[in-house]
Amino acid sequence: MMEILDNNHADHPLYSQFKHLRLEYDITIIFPYGASGNFLSTALVQGSNLVATPKNVFHSDGSYLYNDIDYKPLSTWVDNHGDILEGSTPQAYRSHLDFLCAKRSNTLKHATSYTAGTKILIGHYPPWFLNRATDYSSKEMVFIDITEETKWIVSALNLYKNLISRDYVQNPGMIIHILTEVQKYDTKVIFDRVEYRFLWGNLAQEADIDWLLETGISWTFYVHVKKRKIKGTLQDLRTFFTAKIYGGYAYWLNSPYFAQKQWFQERIDRCHSIEYTQLFFQRLIPTDSLLYQIKPELLHNYSSGNLDILRKMTELLTDDRRTACRAQLDDLKLRLDNMN
């Protein structure tokens, strides 16, 4: 797939300017948004010294690196059959390489000064460009996988982390998430706090929504109501909330992702693929993986906290989704209680 695109641009400076950089990692972790990659990395570094955060949200503390070179999915350029998308012109692809070379070069250079004890690289997409651009190697690569049945779990956790948790001080990037969500609707919307309070005051009479007040998701819903000129009823909120949780994540369930994963599996000896719920609720981890070193009690406590968050999130799902999701969470609770 991507080899076709790359071979057409083999002369690009990205593929020669940084090839002298030798980047060696003990483990590379690839995970969808919300699939707890930050927790896994922190747990590997801190071990028994890991202290759970009040909201179960973890951020990079500099002890591991995030791969922001591969910040776009393969599906940006190819479809599920491996054919180049109609809008993926050679010029557009080359412009992307130009951007990586010019704007991300500091990240590449910084990676060489990374001297942590256990060298960890994490990212949401396989390190395709990083591998092409540098002398990259990793002793182990782990893919945290999701299924159609479990994607809502990581989606809900990601929504919580970025637009609900109120963790503004520790995570300034949350402001960017809020602005991005608002811009999806219209940048010309006039924010009126009186309108906002009236909207959420009415909702508070029908349901327990105090935990959403003044969060990013509450302001996003306010914009959603104004743009669509709807009343903003509890049912409107449920429909909006459910659509947020069940939208996206197609990349990690389709051919381009599987093709990239297979490419690395054929080249890295210790390359593991672990389904999210099996990892966090059953601890089904290959014994030769570094992740196996994470103590069961750390996984248990973290996953137990996530179950509490997920149960709270299901309160605002539509009736058909809420019943099925709660049954799924009950099953995960049983699996967690039996974790070895």
Give pLDDT, residue 79: 60
SS3 43: helix
**Beta partners for residue 21, in sequence order:** none
Q: Write the pLDDT tens digit of every residue in 183-218.
A: 776 657 777 889 999 999 999 999 999 999 888 899
Q: In the chain, which ranges are continuous DSSP H helix?
A: 2-7, 14-17, 37-46, 90-103, 105-111, 128-133, 151-163, 173-183, 193-204, 216-228, 234-246, 255-265, 276-282, 296-314, 319-337
| Cα–Cα separations (whole angstroms), residue 220 to 179, 225, 227, 241, 244 | 9, 9, 11, 10, 11
Gyration radius of the chain's alpha carbons:
21
**Chain centroid to CA 207:** 29
Residues 6+ apart with CB under 8 A from 2: 74, 77, 78, 128, 260
Evaluate the CA torsion angle 136, 141, 147, 152 in order and state its sign.
negative
pTM of full prediction above 0.75: yes
Cα dihedral sign, 55-68-80-261: negative
Give how far the C-alpha of residue 216 lies from the chain's centroid of Cα atoms, to the nearest Å.
17
Cβ pair 90, 8 in contact under 8 A: yes
Query: Which residues 6+ apart lie within 8 Å of 15 measured at CB?
Result: 6, 9, 132, 133
* Local structure of 66: helix, strand or coil: strand
Residue 314 near residue 257, CB atoms below 8 Å: no
Cα dihedral 273, 128, 38, 177 sign: negative
Closest CA to 100 of 215, 13, 216: 13
pLDDT in tens, the chain (340 residues): 556 556 667 888 988 888 888 888 999 999 999 999 999 998 998 876 776 666 667 765 556 788 888 887 766 666 655 555 555 667 777 888 888 888 787 777 777 766 667 889 999 999 988 998 899 999 999 999 999 999 999 999 999 988 888 665 455 656 666 677 667 766 577 778 899 999 999 999 999 999 998 888 998 899 889 888 899 999 999 999 999 999 889 889 987 888 889 999 999 999 999 999 999 999 999 999 999 999 999 999 999 999 999 999 999 999 999 999 999 999 999 999 998 7
Cα 47–156–183 angle (5° rounding)?
115
Give me 39's structure tokens.
Answer: 């927790």
End-to-end CA distance of the chain: 41
